[in-house]
A = this chain, B = another copy of it.
């Protein structure tokens, strides 16, 4: 019934649905090759090192050859963004929703920690890539046994996605910056805060500083921090589920 809907260029790109014609010189590369090379470069040297000429050199081709496979660098970034979610681990299906979602978040972060540049690729359209949708599916599946309606499940997963992306931006970017330039962090962070934060202008913050919360190592144990905030969210989800299923 929906077969005649025209798929956008983006979708056909991400799903490898570009029609192949049987005429002419045979291509020496594939989109997958190019994406893989770009991911390798980004993993090793950061997203800034990903240039069309760099990737082409990596593949032993000329720069312009890539443009036969990819319309622009933005398209390549789109492919990389989905490829960053590769290697989806097998999440167990026979656990309660809370364990499932916790493992889901940890799994996603584990995968993305190997590709920290992913958070720097701007999102310009709703996610349509296969890997993206795979993760979406697994999160929904974890909520399968709760008896919630589809809309509620989607809403809960969207919240989790929001949380995940925030975590990416705050933690992964930060720890990438940390390895680049550890001095900017040092354990002087709390001290620098104390120097600069005036108790009159920032009363609540300076109380927190005085209590010593910021004096730990930076980056401190982000696992603990995340578990805390994620746990709060999941507590809210639990209450929601209880309320919904009790109301039936």
Give the B-binding residues of A (Cβ under 8 A): 2-3, 5, 7-8, 10-11, 15, 119-120, 122-126, 128, 133-134, 136-138, 140-141, 143-144, 149-151, 153-156, 158-159, 161-170, 173-174, 176-177, 180-181, 183-185, 188-189, 191-197, 201-205, 207-208, 211, 213-214, 218, 225-226, 228-237, 239-240
Contact = CB atoms under 8 A, between A and B. Distances in A.
Contacts of A192: 5, 7-8, 11, 128
Contacts of A180: 124
Given A137-B205, A163-B163, A163-B166, A177 B213 contact: no
- List of 5 A-B pairs having minimum Cβ-Cβ separation, nearest first: A159-B229, A166-B166, A232-B236, A124-B177, A235-B236
Question: Which of A134, A191, A202, A204 has most chain B Cβ within 10 Å?
Answer: A204
A162 B136 CA distance: 20
Contacts of A183: 8
A159 B203 contact: no
A57 B78 CA distance: 33
Contacts of A226: 162
A65 to B, nearest CB: 26
Nearest to A144: B204
A212 B153 CA distance: 13
A170 B5 contact: no
Contacts of A213: 150-151, 154
Nearest to A197: B133
Given A184-B124, A233-B236, A194 B133 contact: no
Contact of A140 (B140, B144, B184, B208): B208
Contacts of A166: 161-169
B170 A228 contact: no
A117 to B, nearest CB: 10
A159 B232 contact: yes
A175 B205 CA distance: 33
A140 B235 contact: no
Nearest to A194: B2
Question: Which of A126, A128, A133, A163 has most chain B Cβ within 10 Å?
Answer: A126
Contacts of A168: 166, 169
Nearest to A233: B233
A160 to B, nearest CB: 8
